[in-house]
Chain A
Amino acid sequence: MKNNKAKKIIPPHPMEALLRSERLPHIWCAGCGIGTVFSSVIAAVQKSGFDPDKTAVVSGIGCTARMAGYIRLDSFHTTHGRAIAFATGLKLARPEIKVLVISGDGDLLAIGGNHFIHAARRNIDITVICVNNLNYGMTGGQMAPSTPFGAKTTSSVSGCPEEPFNFCYLASACGSVYVARWTTLHTRRITNSITEAMQKRGFTFVEILTPCPTSFGRRNRMGTALETLKFYHERSVIRNDIDPKDAPVDFSSNIVVGKFVDTERPTFMDNYQFVCKNDIGVWPDFNGTAMPESQTTR
């Protein structure tokens, strides 16, 4: 190392405590945005004030889902699309655990779409972080529900014949209480959004657009990851508090990012308790024992 004086002890990376560094370097490509999202997630976990022993990460299958294997928290790398259902069971069994679901666009919203909409409807208290690289990266770059119309992928060589979802609009329509979208360039805003989402009660959703230079970027002439980031820099427009319906990801005009929805709604457990009327006696108090004082909402 160039700045190593023999007697000085170099402090470790500030995030070392939450990294499984014995498994680094990780599998993601050079310039892959997932690494940056990972860095933002760890910063958010540190910033949110939750006890790391009581924070869990659940993921499905795919490039983003591999994050579960590199983060030094209780982490569960489950089956494709079922991360949210697994997280539902985990959260209801142990309400004091803060559950983060971190997975990709195809995993959460294609095969996992059913679980996504129902968990949002029920307002299960989990934070879902969807890393959107516009395709199925791990399997080589096939089209996904996020792939823009006309984009080239390995399973749509003449161009994708389908229009993509607006994930934020979908999440908001299903009842998510916090919806935000950023790109990997907006690292600090991602960290802030995830921190706010974690501290909020209910189903919270953060979508992050990321470059995928090896699969999507290469086939769609988006250049290197750095060039994609510059593209995000030029084209992204921050519009907070607008209706997510008016916030499409449109590569021909502007990529609208921001915090779109931030509301309150009773969670599944609030409603379950209300309807069952008896106290759910043996469960720990789930009215926010782990949350910072300032964020208690009910």
Chain B
Amino acid sequence: MKYWRKPLDLENIKASRGKVIIIEDRCKGCGFCVEYCPRNVLCMSPAFNLKGYHTPAVTDESKCVNCHFCEALCPEFAIYSIETTETT
């Protein structure tokens, strides 16, 4: 991560990391999660699900900070993030 100045407690505080889980068969391809992810972790993939909708895909999981915004915004309960302990 790029910092404007180095925080004094950088060694102690670790930024949260998240892992995105997508339940593809629930997705209806609205694109909210892709558009509004603050870290641009997602993109619309060319693949599609059983109903024919294009689902999101994770492009760079290391950028996810587990903010849960995709989970809050998704109308279909098709995407959520969980905390992961994997470091960058």
Contacts and interface: CB of A to CB of B under 8 A. Distances in A.
Given A1-B21, A3-B21, A13-B23, A187 B72 contact: yes
Interface residues of A, number: 36
Question: What size tier do the contact residues of chain B reach?
Answer: 20 to 34
A25 B28 contact: yes
A35 B75 contact: yes
Interface in A19-33: 19, 21, 24-26, 28-33
A1 B32 CA distance: 20
A182 to B, nearest CB: 13
Nearest to A211: B30
A34 B77 CA distance: 12
A10 B22 CA distance: 11
Nearest to A33: B75
A39 B75 contact: yes
A43 B51 CA distance: 27
Contacts of B35: 226, 229-230
A171 interface: no
A15 B77 contact: yes
A255 to B, nearest CB: 18
A188 B21 contact: no
A33 B72 CA distance: 12
A10 B80 CA distance: 11
Interface of B: 19-26, 28-32, 35-36, 51, 53, 57-58, 69, 71-77, 80, 82
7 contacts: A1-B22, A3-B21, A3-B58, A13-B23, A24-B76, A24-B77, A229-B36
